[in-house]
């Protein structure tokens, strides 16, 4: 089973590199990579366009964030939920 980060650990990792998110279904093969903060913003934009936010993955550890964790990151960044 994969380790899950706590909300506090995720907040501490916002500036860490090595995260990716698959964009939308049309561009599923075109993953976006960067910091956790960048990926949270990408998923937020996708949701605002009416799409699914997708999944954020940590490349090195293969840790994935669920929707609740993604929404908590949006709140941490001050993005409307």
Specify the higher pLDDT residue, 1 or 31.
31
Instruction: Output the pLDDT for position 64.
Output: 78
Kindly tell me the sign of the dihedral angle through the C-alpha atoms of 30, 31, 35, 40. Answer: positive
Strand 31-34 relative to strand 19-22, pairing: antiparallel
Q: What is the tally of structural domains in the chain?
A: 1
Instruction: Output the pLDDT for position 63.
Output: 74
In a domain? residue 1: no
Domain containing 40: what range?
7-76
Instruction: Output the pLDDT for position 9.
Output: 95
In a domain? residue 2: no
In a domain? residue 58: yes
Instruction: Output the pLDDT for position 1.
Output: 47
In a domain? residue 43: yes
**7-66: per-residue pLDDT in tens?**
999 999 999 999 999 765 555 566 789 999 999 999 999 899 998 888 888 888 767 788
């Amino acid at each position: 089973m994969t380790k899950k980060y706590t909300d506090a650990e995720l907040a501490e990792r916002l500036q860490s590199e090595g995260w990716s998110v698959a964009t939308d279904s049309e561009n599923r093969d075109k993953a976006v990579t960067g910091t956790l903060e960048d990926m949270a913003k990408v998923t937020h934009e996708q949701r605002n366009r009416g799409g699914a936010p997708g999944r954020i993955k940590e490349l090195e550890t293969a840790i994935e964030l669920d929707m609740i964790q993604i929404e908590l990151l949006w709140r941490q960044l001050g993005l409307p939920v």
